[in-house]
Structure 1
Amino acid sequence: MRIPPYYRRPSWQRFFAGMAIGGAISWCIFIYIFGVWQEKHTALIDKQSEKIIDLENEKKIWQEEYKEINKRTIEQLTTQKINVKIINGEKYKLDMLSVSEIEDSVKDDISMMLAKDIDTVYKSKELIKKIIQNKPVKLNDKRYKLKVKEMVIFTTLSIQLEIEFEQ
């Protein structure tokens, strides 16, 4: 078997030469376009990786500041106000002035808890109860004692008291 003699015909020679030159030119165009795209995408990836690193650093800084602010906020939670309320003053037919005087007296007794952090106030809640319950109150020639019904400890120390006769 033999190969046909296409190399002797000029039309076939032009065809094969055109294929070779076209293949070489198309390969050069492909390499150029691929190189441009690759360079463009590499630059985009580098830019994105720099942005990711910057954002991660910024996130780390924000998280550290957030933790620091939370620590300071927790440390700064203090008792800022004391509310005292007597809930059964009507039972003993006490006037509003007497009830108000008793409430003010109790506020004065526990005013040391103002500007203390909430943890300290919580740890000394039994002391506050004893201060209130061990103090006799004298009104209209009668002696009363106070009983702590409810105590809520937060930035406002709210105490609800009941008043009763002292035995």
Structure 2
Amino acid sequence: MHIPPYHKKVTWQRFFIGAVFGALISYGIYIYIYGSLYERVLEENFELQSELTDVKNQNEALLQDKEDLDEQSKEPQTVESIEVTITSEDALRLDRLIIHQLEDLIKEEINHLIGQEISTVVESNQLLLSTIENKGFTVDDVTYHFDVNLLVISNNVKLTVETKLTDE
């Protein structure tokens, strides 16, 4: 069997050379497209890795904050201060010195609340109200009784009272 000598014919030589050059050109285009797509994929991968690192750092910070808050919430909340406000000083024409002395007397009466847990104070709020309303506070031979208008129990106990004047 004899293979025909196509390599000697000019048309076949042109076809083979064209096929080789076409293959080289298409291979170059393929490498260019592959390189540009691979570059985009690498860029996107780096962006996603950077975003993932940021999200991990943010997650760790949030988890640490949550742990800190959990530790703080496990500690019992206590009463830190007491604030007393007298509302009817104008009706009884009380001067500032008497108002200040009455506020100090009320604070002394309920001073034992400082340092106690808020839950304990909330449970015994009726006892606190009864203590203030049923006791007479004497300043300059005049006894004052109080009605509690507002009692706010938090870290700072806020007490708003109204003065009633009684003679003994």
Q: TM-score range by the shorter chain?
A: 0.7 to 0.9
CA deviation profile, 1:84-131 (whole Å, cap 9, x unmatched): 111112323333222211110111122222244544443433232122
* Residues 18 and 117 of structure 1: CA distance in aligned 2, closer, same or farther (over 3 Å): farther
Asked if structure 1 preserves the Cα contact closer than 8 Å seen for 2:7 and 2:13, the reply is: no
> What runs of 5+ residues in structure 2 fail to find an aligned partner?
1-5
Looking at structure 1, the residues matched to 164 and 46 of structure 2 have their Cα atoms a distance apart, in angstroms, of 77
Looking at structure 1, the residues matched to 13 and 105 of structure 2 have their Cα atoms a distance apart, in angstroms, of 116
Which residue is 1:28 aligned to?
27
Looking at structure 2, the residues matched to 78 and 8 of structure 1 have their Cα atoms a distance apart, in angstroms, of 101
Looking at structure 2, the residues matched to 58 and 119 of structure 1 have their Cα atoms a distance apart, in angstroms, of 37
Q: Does 1:95 align with 2:101?
A: no
* Residues 41 and 116 of structure 1: CA distance in aligned 2, closer, same or farther (over 3 Å): farther
Looking at structure 1, the residues matched to 97 and 129 of structure 2 have their Cα atoms a distance apart, in angstroms, of 23
Looking at structure 2, the residues matched to 26 and 158 of structure 1 have their Cα atoms a distance apart, in angstroms, of 86
Q: Does 1:114 align with 2:144?
A: no
Asked if structure 1 preserves the Cα contact closer than 8 Å seen for 2:105 and 2:137, the reply is: no
CA deviation profile, 1:13-71 (whole Å, cap 9, x unmatched): 34422320122102321332244335434433443443344233222211211212333
> What runs of 5+ residues in structure 1 fail to find an aligned partner?
1-6
Paired residue total? 161
TM-score (norm 2): 0.73
Looking at structure 1, the residues matched to 29 and 76 of structure 2 have their Cα atoms a distance apart, in angstroms, of 67
Secondary structure, in 3 states, of the residue corresponding to 1:90?
coil
Secondary structure, in 3 states, of the residue corresponding to 1:33?
helix
Which residue is 2:136 aligned to?
136
Question: Identity over aligned residues, as a percent?
Answer: 20
Which residue is 1:57 aligned to?
56
Looking at structure 2, the residues matched to 160 and 37 of structure 1 have their Cα atoms a distance apart, in angstroms, of 75
* Residues 76 and 12 of structure 1: CA distance in aligned 2, closer, same or farther (over 3 Å): farther
Looking at structure 2, the residues matched to 63 and 83 of structure 1 have their Cα atoms a distance apart, in angstroms, of 36
Could you say what the CA RMSD is over the residues aligned between the two structures, in angstroms?
3.1
Which residue is 1:44 aligned to?
43
Please identify, of 101-110 and 56-65, the stretch whose mean Cα deviation from structure 2 is larger.
56-65
Please identify, of 81-90 and 149-158, the stretch whose mean Cα deviation from structure 2 is larger.
149-158
